[in-house]
Chains A and B, each alone.
Chain A
Amino acid sequence: MGETMDQPILEVRNLTVEFPGRHGTVAALSDVSLDIRAGEILGVVGESGAGKSMTGLAIQGLLERPGHISGGEIWLENRRIDTLDDYEMEKIRGRKIGAIFQDPLTSLNPLFTVGAQLSETIRQHLNMSKSQAKARAIELLGEVGIPSPDERVNHYPHQFSGGMRQRVVIALALAASPKLVIADEPTTALDVSIQAQIISLLRKLCKEKRTAVMLVTHDMGVIAEAADRVAVMYAGRLIEVGSVNQVLRASAHPYTRGLMASIPALAARVERLNQIDGSMPRLDAIPDGCAFNPRCKSVGPRCIREQPELMPAGDGASACWLNAGGTA
Chain B
Amino acid sequence: MTGTGQKMPAFTAERLVKTFDVSAPWLSRVIERKPRQLLQAVNDISFTVPTGGCLSIVGESGCGKSTVARLVTGLHKPSSGELRFAPGRNGAPLSVQMIFQDPYASLNPRWRVKNIVAEPLREMKLLKTSNEIADRVEELLETVGLSASDGEKYPHEFSGGQRQRISIARALASEPEFLVCDEPTSALDVSVQAQVLNLMRKLQDEFGLTYLFISHDMSVVRHMSDRIAVMYLGRIVEEGDTEELFANPRHPYTRLLLQTIPNVQKPNRDRVVGGGEVPSPLKPPSGCTFHPRCPVAIGRCSAEVPEVRTLQGGTRVACHLVEEKIATAAE
Q: Identify the A interface with B (CB < 8 A).
A: 47-48, 161-164, 191-197, 199-200, 203, 218-222, 224-226, 244, 248-249, 258-260, 262-267, 269-277, 279-280
Beta-carbon nearest neighbor of A190 in chain B: B61
Given contacts A193-B257, A262-B194, contact A248 B160 (CB under 8 A): no
Contact B160 A259 (CB under 8 A): no
Contact B197 A220 (CB under 8 A): no
On chain B, the residues within 8 Å of A264 by CB distance are 194, 197, 219-220, 222-223
On chain A, the residues within 8 Å of B264 by CB distance are 220-221, 224, 248, 260, 263
Q: Is B198 an interface residue (CB 8 A)?
A: yes
Least Cβ distance of A323 to chain B in Å? 21
Contact A192 B198 (CB under 8 A): no
Task: Pick the residue among B192, B218, B277 that contacts A266 (CB under 8 A).
Answer: B218
Beta-carbon nearest neighbor of A219 in chain B: B262
Q: In the complex, A293→B238 CA distance in Å?
A: 46
Q: In the complex, A272→B178 CA distance in Å?
A: 21
Task: Pick the residue among B257, B262, B273 that contacts A197 (CB under 8 A).
Answer: B273
Q: Is B38 an interface residue (CB 8 A)?
A: no
Contact A224 B191 (CB under 8 A): no
The 7 A-B residue pairs with the shortest CB-CB distance in the complex, in nearest-first order: A221-B262, A262-B194, A224-B267, A264-B223, A191-B60, A273-B194, A275-B194
Contact B160 A48 (CB under 8 A): yes
On chain A, the residues within 8 Å of B217 by CB distance are 192
Q: How many residues of B contact A (CB 8 A)?
A: 44
In the complex, 21 of the A-B residue pairs with CB atoms within 8 angstroms, ordered by the A residue number, are A48-B189, A191-B216, A192-B216, A193-B260, A193-B276, A194-B60, A220-B190, A221-B261, A221-B262, A222-B262, A225-B267, A225-B268, A225-B269, A258-B191, A259-B191, A266-B219, A269-B222, A269-B243, A272-B201, A276-B194, A279-B162
Number of residue pairs spanning A and B whose beta carbons lie under 8 angstroms apart: 120
Residue picked from B262, B269, B274, most chain A C-beta under 10 Å: B262
Least Cβ distance of B296 to chain A in Å? 16
Q: In the complex, A193→B274 CA distance in Å?
A: 8
On chain B, the residues within 8 Å of A248 by CB distance are 264-265, 267
Q: Is B195 an interface residue (CB 8 A)?
A: yes
Q: Is B80 an interface residue (CB 8 A)?
A: no
Given contacts A264-B222, A279-B161, 12 further A-B contacts (CB under 8 A): A161-B278, A164-B277, A191-B278, A192-B260, A192-B261, A194-B277, A196-B260, A220-B264, A221-B263, A244-B267, A264-B219, A277-B195
Q: Is B43 an interface residue (CB 8 A)?
A: no
Beta-carbon nearest neighbor of A197 in chain B: B273
Q: In the complex, A222→B278 CA distance in Å?
A: 21
Least Cβ distance of A27 to chain B in Å? 19
Contact B195 A275 (CB under 8 A): yes
Residue picked from A193, A270, A276, A280, most chain B C-beta under 10 Å: A193
Q: In the complex, A258→B61 CA distance in Å?
A: 30
Mask, B194-230, CB within 8 Å of A = 1, is: 1101100100000000000000111110110000000
Given contacts A47-B189, A48-B189, contact A265 B265 (CB under 8 A): yes
Q: Is B256 an interface residue (CB 8 A)?
A: yes
Contact A196 B273 (CB under 8 A): yes
Q: In the complex, A312→B18 CA distance in Å?
A: 59
Contact A218 B216 (CB under 8 A): no
Q: In the complex, A266→B216 CA distance in Å?
A: 14
Q: In the complex, A224→B262 CA distance in Å?
A: 7
Contact B198 A47 (CB under 8 A): no
Q: In the complex, A268→B263 CA distance in Å?
A: 13
Q: In the complex, A164→B261 CA distance in Å?
A: 20
Beta-carbon nearest neighbor of A50 in chain B: B189
Given contacts A220-B190, A225-B267, A248-B264, contact A273 B161 (CB under 8 A): no
Q: Is B271 an interface residue (CB 8 A)?
A: yes
Contact B263 A266 (CB under 8 A): yes
On chain B, the residues within 8 Å of A277 by CB distance are 195
Q: In the complex, A244→B262 CA distance in Å?
A: 14
On chain B, the residues within 8 Å of A197 by CB distance are 273, 275
On chain B, the residues within 8 Å of A48 by CB distance are 160, 189
Beta-carbon nearest neighbor of B267 in chain A: A224
Q: Is B159 an interface residue (CB 8 A)?
A: yes
Mask, B140-171, CB within 8 Å of A = 1, is: 00000000000000000001111000000000
Beta-carbon nearest neighbor of A193 in chain B: B260
Q: Is B193 an interface residue (CB 8 A)?
A: yes
Contact B159 A279 (CB under 8 A): yes
Q: In the complex, A19→B103 CA distance in Å?
A: 27
Q: In the complex, A200→B275 CA distance in Å?
A: 12
Q: In the complex, A197→B60 CA distance in Å?
A: 14
On chain B, the residues within 8 Å of A192 by CB distance are 60, 216-218, 257, 260-261
Q: In the complex, A264→B273 CA distance in Å?
A: 23
Contact A225 B61 (CB under 8 A): no
Given contacts A225-B262, A264-B223, A274-B194, contact A191 B61 (CB under 8 A): yes
Least Cβ distance of B244 to chain A in Å? 13
Q: In the complex, A249→B266 CA distance in Å?
A: 10
Q: In the complex, A241→B193 CA distance in Å?
A: 24
Beta-carbon nearest neighbor of A249 in chain B: B265
Q: In the complex, A64→B63 CA distance in Å?
A: 38
On chain A, the residues within 8 Å of B162 by CB distance are 279
Contact A267 B265 (CB under 8 A): yes
On chain B, the residues within 8 Å of A269 by CB distance are 222-223, 242-243
Contact A196 B271 (CB under 8 A): yes
On chain A, the residues within 8 Å of B256 by CB distance are 193
Least Cβ distance of B76 to chain A in Å? 23
Beta-carbon nearest neighbor of B63 in chain A: A191
Beta-carbon nearest neighbor of B262 in chain A: A221
On chain A, the residues within 8 Å of B257 by CB distance are 192-193
Least Cβ distance of A281 to chain B in Å? 10
Q: In the complex, A310→B220 CA distance in Å?
A: 33
On chain A, the residues within 8 Å of B246 by CB distance are 266
Residue picked from A203, A218, A264, most chain B C-beta under 10 Å: A264
